[in-house]
Structure 1
């Protein structure tokens, strides 16, 4: 499941996947895989991404937290 909310939030901040990955100390491919629903992040990573993007994890990862 494509996580469009995550992608939209990242783009609204003007951040590329590369910049986001550097700032969060995660690999760019991992960020991409999370956005495209290929990988499911753990709880700590969900919270880290949520805080970074300023969007609740329940919105970004509703497919995992419902």
Structure 2
């Protein structure tokens, strides 16, 4: 599993970075969605080298089984 930084932003210009584990950048966006506030959208996704693997949420599930992490 890789660690991704997902930058999210609101209409008022406020931005924040969420760190999530994921196999791909697309799944990183999916993993960030439950951590986002209403009105926020994903601005950027980038893989990071985090030796501590400190994350804010869980990886996303699969398309067919959203409750199963593979």
Bin for the TM-score computed over the shorter chain:
under 0.3
Give the TM-score normalised by the residue count of structure 1: 0.26
Larger Rg: 2
